[in-house]
Structure 1
Amino acid sequence: MNPDVAAAIKDLSATLTSVEAVMDLAKLAADVEALEAEAARPDLWDDQENAQKVTSRLSHKQGELRRVTDLRQRLDDLEVMYELAEAEGDADMVAEADAEQAKLRDEISSLEVRTLLSGEYDEREALVTLRAEAGGVDAADFAEMLMRMYLRWAERHGYAVEVYDTSYAEEAGIKSATFRIKAPYAYGTLSVEQGTHRLVRISPFDNQGRRQTSFAGVEVIPVVEQSDRVDIDEKELRIDVYRSSGPGGQGVNTTDSAVRITHIPTGIVVSCQNERSQLQNKATAMAVLQAKLLERQRQEEQAKIDALKGDGGSSWGNQMRSYVLHPYQMVKDLRTEHEVGNPTAVLDGDIDTFLEAGIRWRRQLQGQS
């Protein structure tokens, strides 16, 4: 076999071996077996919430095990492909093997990034809140573009999404939105998106066709679980009910079922209006409030640790990515320096390379601290 090809395959095999070690395939297989036994219990669906958790965890762990074993099989097959291609002098088969090698490199690299997600809440689902910031109607339009970007990203990966609240701006776009990405490791993966995103373009809302810079904020927090303890005193809450509305004031329903909860001591405001009953909207809004209070508590604890360390905390979560549509086309992450020249693809949900670069960058920072 060509020495360069042999070296490349050996390198891929070594990376995959380290991934397999971190994932602990024996434990993963044992977890799958235990969850399969639990899922087969005749009384499983007596508790629907628990049943959904069990089946979701089983599906995720089966997928993880299948993914890594498939990669190992494909890597073994790749070696055979090259040997056959060289023995037969078949240039087309060599090209096919080269394409498979490139695919494997990308997929193994992506799986390696997953093993870097080892934070306390990284395995959880994500609660994402977007807000239009400076830039008027352009900022509201940009916030809606970002919302579509994340929803398209979730769709590409087959992740379920639940939109809790969307506050539409008067002329175009949205003032804010909150939605949940229902996938394991969604929080660990998307948490690197937190911060201010910046858009530079010729404004479609400026009749003089001037260039406009606008900003939108992204907040990503982990979804709370039953084991989390966040005590909320009902006396510290102001609860308002109102009628849900769509773009341009269009009514989503005709009853006052939307719920807005204000946590008076912190000033945190959460809303839910996703066309359910008032009771369901209140329960969902309370879950969002708990998640935000838990994250606030975690940040306060981290600030104390940072103060003790004397590093004054981290400011990387401020302005973190630029999307330039004019005078040239580029999306650039200001922390990792990762950039691509196709904003259309990025805004259509093709953000995996940015997520991977962000996760590697964060891990590097943690290693230095």
Structure 2
Amino acid sequence: MDLDALRAQIAELEEQAARPDLWDDQEKAQKVTSQLAHKQGELRRVADLRQRLDDLTVLYELAEAENDESSLVEADAEREKLRSDISSLEVRTLLSGEYDERDALVTVRAEAGGVDAADFAEMLMRMYARWAERHGYQVDVYDTSYAEEAGIKSATFRVHAPYAYGTLSVEQGTHRLVRISPFDNQGRRQTSFAGVEVVPVVEQTDHIDIDEKDLRIDVYRSSGPGGQGVNTTDSAVRITHLPTGIVVSCQNERSQLQNKATAMAVLQAKLLDRKRQEEQEWRDSLKDAGSSWGNQMRSYVLHPYQMVKDLRTEYEVGNPSAVLDGDIDQFIEAGIRWRRQHAQAN
């Protein structure tokens, strides 16, 4: 890590944060204060790791000098924890893509598998919400389309965190669940699928022009599970981008105007991601390279054995309950390392 450059960035952000007119533009102000807090946290994190490393040396010296077995066990445990924390910091340095620093817009959709797929999609949504909660990240749910019997057809939510897009982008693809279906009266094993899409949040500097003539805007009444209405006005908004067929919707705000603004932001993010993918495909075609990795990326097996396995990195664990409760950092880190290695190989 370039600590001198990090200190210079902190000094520049502190100068911006001290300006009396900072909050004249609330969006910019929030971005400046968020970046400042993040970069100050990064610097403290490095300083803390270095201090712990120095302390660890002393701890081993004391354990050996006093021939204290319990102190040696304590030092070994701290060494393993320190190794893990340094590894996590190293992974962060691998996030150097154009949009990696941004917030993430995540969409989870039920795919093949009927009601089990809808239930699985809701399980994945909860998994990411619990992961964000573990890290203290804010999550805003923009839209949820509930399935008729159980689960969800789709959901779109924003994760507010530094490097949220770079971190979660490795989660994109098709997730596969194998289990005894709780919806099958005969207790048969069922395989179901859910898709995860991750795009970066659009910022003012992005140039995404949308012609109003290319949009179809529908308004409708917000609904909850089972189709139950949650308000009495047609405040929910659905926007269809006719040239691409992309459909986005938002129903979490109280007013139709707010929902339209949020839906437009989601549409811009998806169009930006499509543009980025097209540019990447063009670059790949010049290199005669195939797609970066297969679409199916992780399997969650609950029966006849317990396992979650990433099909790209081969990383696996035997505790699906913990993974579905948000313990996915090791999968994310393995995915980020794998992506970097794959990019270098091509």
- Point out 4+ residue stretches in structure 1 off by more than 6 angstroms: none
Displacement after TM superposition at 1:192 (Å): 0.6
Q: Give, as a single letter, the amino acid of the residue that structure 2 aligns with 1:360.
A: R
Q: Deviations over 1:302-339 (max 9, x none)?
A: 1122222222433x241110000000000000010000
In structure 1, the gaps of 5 or more residues are 1-22
Quote the residue 1:340 is aligned against: 317
Match 1:112 to one of 87, 90, 95: 90
Q: Give, as a single letter, the amino acid of the residue that structure 1 aligns with 2:308.
A: V
Q: Give, as a single letter, the amino acid of the residue that structure 1 aligns with 2:203.
A: E
Q: Deviations over 1:65-93 (max 9, x none)?
A: 11111000100110011101111111111
Quote the residue 1:148 is aligned against: 126
- Identify the range of structure 1 (179-188 vs 45-54) with the bigger mean alpha-carbon deviation: 45-54
Aligned-pair RMSD on alpha carbons?
A: 1.0
Quote the residue 2:159 is aligned against: 181
- 1:54 equivalent to 2:35? Answer no
User: What is the rounded CA distance, in whole Å, between the counterparts of 2:7 and 2:50 in structure 1?
Assistant: 15
Matches within 5 A, 1:144-293: 144-293=122-271
User: What is the rounded CA distance, in whole Å, between the counterparts of 1:343 and 1:117 in structure 2?
Assistant: 27
User: What is the rounded CA distance, in whole Å, between the counterparts of 1:48 and 1:167 in structure 2?
Assistant: 31
Displacement after TM superposition at 1:150 (Å): 0.3
User: What is the rounded CA distance, in whole Å, between the counterparts of 1:119 and 1:56 in structure 2?
Assistant: 19
Displacement after TM superposition at 1:143 (Å): 0.1
Displacement after TM superposition at 1:106 (Å): 0.3
Quote the residue 1:14 is aligned against: none
Q: Deviations over 1:42-83 (max 9, x none)?
A: 332222222111111111011111111100010011001110
- 1:323 equivalent to 2:300? Answer yes
User: What is the rounded CA distance, in whole Å, between the counterparts of 1:280 and 1:164 in structure 2?
Assistant: 11
- 1:309 equivalent to 2:308? Answer no
TM-score of the two chains, using structure 2 as the length reference: 0.98
Tell me if the contact between 1:270 and 1:289 (Cα under 8 Å) persists in the aligned partners.
Answer: yes
Q: Give, as a single letter, the amino acid of the residue that structure 2 aligns with 1:144.
A: E
TM-score of the two chains, using structure 1 as the length reference: 0.92
Quote the residue 1:125 is aligned against: 103
- Identify the range of structure 1 (338-347 vs 123-132) with the bigger mean alpha-carbon deviation: 123-132
Displacement after TM superposition at 1:251 (Å): 2.1
Quote the residue 2:4 is aligned against: 26
Q: Give, as a single letter, the amino acid of the residue that structure 2 aligns with 1:225.
A: E
Q: Deviations over 1:122-150 (max 9, x none)?
A: 11111101100000000000000000000
